[in-house]
Amino acid sequence: MKPLAILLILASSLTLAMMTSCTGTSTAKDEMQKPVTESMKAANENEAVEKDNSVNESVEKASTPVNAQDVNSINYQNMQDAFKGETTASAKYAAYSQKAEAEGYHEIALLFKAASTSEHIHANNHKAVLEDAGQKVPVITPEFTVKTTNENLKDAIAGETYEINTMYPEFIKNANSAGNQLSLVSLNYAYKTEQKHKPYYEKALAALESNTVKSLPTTYYICSTCGNTYETIAPKRCGISMTSSEKFLKVTDLNS
């Protein structure tokens, strides 16, 4: 017998012996290798489809942007709130001006007069944005309480602080999300101006408490475009809107 034939016989015998001695293992392998039936294929395919759909839904939810109508609605609500706030501030500061004058603080009265004029410009800008978009402009009845000039200054500082730190940054963010350029312009005009009003009030309060009110400015210039406010001397152009100083409003007395 040839060597190759002998090797084949030996290999066959060895394989048969291994299969006989490992019946459990062989059975397990047979069970694992059973052919997949049509019903099993369908079940597996359905499971795969369900997993794919679940993944797709998760991706869609994660990638779907906020509804454009929603961000626009939020922006216009913000503009209405800003209009209300600035309208109220203008009326309130005008009343505070009269109170300061009555208490003998003419310089502080002039500051409140200038600020009232500035806030009126902000309110008109916000109103113009709403009207341009065909949005409702709310009818405002300002509500506030006039106290002493010291308390009125503290109230003004608190109001400006809120607008600078909370209100306008949030409104500007929402206007940016809505892509509304007119809102962004109007809101930024007010935001940057309030950043100047706050230190004016703080300086006035310090002067009042140190009995140096007479050292405060008696002339103010207000940009007719954005409400930016300057003490004593006006630049050639507004530092916020670039408006020529020829268009500034000048406050030197309570009737101007």
* DSSP secondary structure string for all residues of 30-42: HHHTPPPPHHHHH
Domain locations in the chain as residue ranges:
68-213
pLDDT of residue 125 exceeding 90, the answer is yes
Per-residue pLDDT reduced to its tens digit, 7-17? 334 444 444 44
Quote helix, strand, coil % in the chain, to nearest 5. Answer: 70, 5, 25
> What is the residue-averaged pLDDT of the chain?
84
pLDDT of res. 256: 73
Q: What stretch of H or E contains 52?
A: helix 38-63
Angle at 218 between CA 215 and CA 221, to 5 degrees: 130
Per-residue pLDDT reduced to its tens digit, 145-199? 999 999 999 999 999 999 999 999 999 999 999 999 999 999 999 999 999 999 9
> What backbone torsions phi and psi does residue 52 show, to the nearest 5 degrees?
-65, -45
Give the confidence band of 38 by pLDDT, cuts at 50, 70, 90: low
Whole-prediction pTM value?
A: 0.74
Q: Are 204 and 157 in contact, with CB atoms under 8 Å apart?
A: no
* Domain covering 68-213, topology: Ferritin (1.20.1260)
Q: Radius of gyration (Cα) for the chain, nearest Å?
A: 38
Q: Which tops the pLDDT comparison, 48 or 239?
A: 239
Per-residue pLDDT reduced to its tens digit, 43-91? 555 555 454 555 444 434 444 445 777 999 999 999 999 999 999 999 9
Q: Residues, the chain, total?
A: 256
Two structure tokens written together for 220: 């103010």
Per-residue pLDDT reduced to its tens digit, 205-221? 999 999 999 999 999 99
